[in-house]
Structure 1
Amino acid sequence: MLIVNMNEDKDFDLGFKTRTMYSLLSLILLADPNKPLHLIFVTDEKSKLRVGWMVKEVISKILLVETLAALPGEKTHIPKLYFSMVDYHDVSQHGTDFQWVFKYHLDLLTAHGGTNTKKYFMDFFNIGPMYHRAFTKLEKLLFVDCSDLEYRADINLIRQEFDEMDKWPAVVMGIGKDLSLHYWDWVVSYRREVKNKTHFGKPGRYQGFNSGVVLYDLEKMRNSKVYNEAITKDYALQLFEELGSIPTVGDQDFYTALGFVHPELFYIIDCKFNAQTSLQYMQERFRDRFDEYHYCAEIDQIKIIHKNGCGPTPRVCGEDESKVATKYYLAGAYNEIERQIDWSFFARQKYREVPKLNFINYYNYIGGKQRFDGYLGNIL
């Protein structure tokens, strides 16, 4: 889990902190209590103290509620937890030449006025490809986004995806599809050049990746000649140039580009472990194709919801709903039924589902303001 404070000496942005704490809460509360979890926070020297406070606050509130609600002699309902912190600079140093490629493209975009944010060009958004060189004592690693994920099932269920990866000798990484037409647009120049004779960007195996949830087989990454030759400055630069595309969302773009030319390196994880909610590409030009890219499964089958991009309606994304609404959207397929932790019965029931009519995350938006005290304000 990557958590870096971009506010320098100030506290985390309130909205970011709220989402991160809720994500961590849902991860821990739904995890199998009989299976220990080792949470690794990739951060930096300036952020580590605040990361520690945030994690401490989450854990202490969970334990306090359990203590108040549990009957004498009952065991806790959360797993044994281990925590580690890693400075992202220690990871970044293993690929400084590779990361130069992203800085080079940032300079290109800036010179032509093509970007209004430098967020995804910062080093810590491009260090994933070097994890195998940094975490030398680990064989496998699960990376999850820190602030945009809502867990609806036991995180240990994703172990089955690691098992599937083991069946493919060349696979070094498991990653989900990007459930949008982002990469259809991303390779538009290349598609024109080859007169549309390519699968790149089309729905299915080549529609692009989303790095909100990534399974790294670190041992196979270390042993893959093809992969290690790819994470060099010259290779990455040539790869983006051949596609006529510029990386704008960190290492996710690199994984997608590499997956186009070396699909054997990647295993596509079940979309239920990274079901993205963004309706950004529900546009009039994509009305007939959006569902093919975006739909994953019924809400009760989803294990991890990735609340990315814009939504929950096309109007919020600046679109006229009457012109862009798709068949699945009109049928209610993308309506999020939220999960609410019932703290008063937590020790006995662990959690229960409470359906809501609204689509917006109730915990993130109360009266237009992002706050966190709604979790425990009624009992503390």
Structure 2
Amino acid sequence: MRSYQAVLLFLAALAVFAFYYLGSGKESFSSTTRRIMENSAGQELIPDLDLAASSSELKIGEGKSKNLENRGVQDYHLLMMFTKVDRSPGLRDKFQLALRSLLKYGKFESHEVLSLHFVSDEPSKDIGKTVLRDLLQGASFKYKVIFHDVSALTEKLFPIVEAMQKLFSAGTGTYYSDSIFFLSVALHHILPKDITRIIQLDLDLKFKTNIRELFEEFDNFFHSSVIGIAHEMQPVYRHTFWQYRRENPNTQVGSPPPDGMPGFNSGVMLLNLEAMRQSKLYNQLLEPNALGQLAEKYHFKGHLGDQDFFSMIGMEHPELFYVLDCGWNRQLCTWWKDHGYAEIFDQYFRCESHIKIYHGNCNTPISED
């Protein structure tokens, strides 16, 4: 009898081994995710379809990753800010619209995994889990959900971006909490090195096409490109660079497309993290002295965080940027049309491309249709 029981125990152990390590389960995790869990503080990974995962379930994911890696699993990384949602119900509505439309059109191959990164505080994370539990049930592709603690990221960011906060923040001083608005600027220093590309998105978006097509835009980058980003579609930087434009009447700085340099909008950003890490020029521009010199040259004082930083350095070094078609970030805000720029507004606002992402910036409603 004992020998019979021993055989049964051996077979049971073999079955567990096969389930965990030969990949018979439905969740899919890559080695990238395993290293994120091992090396990065302030992050919580949520396995597929179970948004209240226990530590034992995380171990299951680690075991399966080896098998998936051998089969050529490929991760696509997407990041959104999801903070202070408990204080702003409107953000939850925007989040639901963005995720519903992403899931509606999203299609990936069987060996591909969409990693959804959310930078969040604890109350917002609880809300996010509830929303995601409902929305992700109908996903047609493999995914992972990873929450990053906003306080942990802010602590890492502050020493890197402290100087630029004085130039590109709305307040009169440098606020520690403002650092998170510059996350994209220094994300290549924050995320593990095996994450080489990531797309950062605002919450106030609505997708009209497969998000995977946006990842394909990385393949169109030029040799010198580190970031893909669309032009700002209002005369924001015509206004911000007014003094430089007055002193340089022939400049294209702040002028509308196609020949002008209207600045950038950070609602949709393709961050080639590996290129950002390797670019000596880009990392030099993060230094306080270089920033100060450019700000002085352009008489620049902004209030839009990372968007201002990219717009200012883009005037001096456009080669760092791959300009996305306006259809990938069709901004809907018309605030500047009613604030002194009605005559030239349409030169900035015009977009004749097929619309792939609507961006309801400055709280502009986006139709649910």
Say whether the fold is shared (TM-score over 0.5). Answer: yes
| Shift in alpha-carbon separation, 1:106–1:182, aligned structure 2, 3 A | closer
- The answer to whether the 8 A contact 2:81-2:118 is kept is yes
Amino acid at match of 1:50: I
- Give the corresponding residue for 2:242: 188
| Shift in alpha-carbon separation, 1:208–1:105, aligned structure 2, 3 A | closer
| Shift in alpha-carbon separation, 1:236–1:106, aligned structure 2, 3 A | closer
Matches within 5 A, 1:200-211: 200-204=253-257, 205-211=260-266
- The answer to whether the 8 A contact 1:98-1:233 is kept is no
- Give the corresponding residue for 1:14: 89
| Shift in alpha-carbon separation, 1:50–1:94, aligned structure 2, 3 A | same
Q: Which has the higher strand share?
A: 2
Which consecutive segments of 4 or more residues in structure 1 shift more than 6 A? 118-121
Q: 2:194 aligns with which of 108, 131, 137?
A: 137
Deviates more, 1:221-230 or 1:283-292: 283-292
Matches within 5 A, 1:331-370: 338=367, 340=369
Residue 90 of structure 1 and its aligned partner are, at CA, apart by 4.2
Q: 2:327 aligns with which of 272, 276, 289?
A: 272
- The answer to whether the 8 A contact 1:40-1:84 is kept is yes
- Give the corresponding residue for 1:81: 143
Deviates more, 1:93-102 or 1:215-224: 93-102
1:2 aligns with 2:57: no
- The answer to whether the 8 A contact 2:120-2:147 is kept is yes
1:23 aligns with 2:23: no
Q: 1:36 aligns with which of 102, 105, 113?
A: 113
- The answer to whether the 8 A contact 1:173-1:265 is kept is yes
Distance 2:247 2:189 in 1: 37
Q: 2:306 aligns with which of 248, 251, 274?
A: 251
The number of residues matched between the two structures is: 286
Gaps in structure 1 of 5+ consecutive residues: 64-76, 112-117, 313-335, 341-380
Amino acid at match of 1:80: K
Query: SS of the residue aligned with 2:327?
Result: helix
Cα deviation 1:207-260 (Å, max 9, x = unaligned):
010000000111111000000011122222332232212120111000000100
- The answer to whether the 8 A contact 1:30-1:155 is kept is yes
Distance 1:106 1:213 in 2: 19
- Give the corresponding residue for 1:303: 356
Query: SS of the residue aligned with 1:202?
Result: coil
Query: SS of the residue aligned with 2:269?
Result: strand
1:99 aligns with 2:152: no
Distance 1:108 1:149 in 2: 23
Q: Which has the higher helix share?
A: 2
- Give the corresponding residue for 2:232: 178
- Give the corresponding residue for 2:281: 226
In the superposition, the TM-score normalised over structure 2's length comes to 0.70
Residue 102 of structure 1 and its aligned partner are, at CA, apart by 4.5
Distance 2:175 2:82 in 1: 11
Distance 1:42 1:143 in 2: 11
In the superposition, the TM-score normalised over structure 1's length comes to 0.68
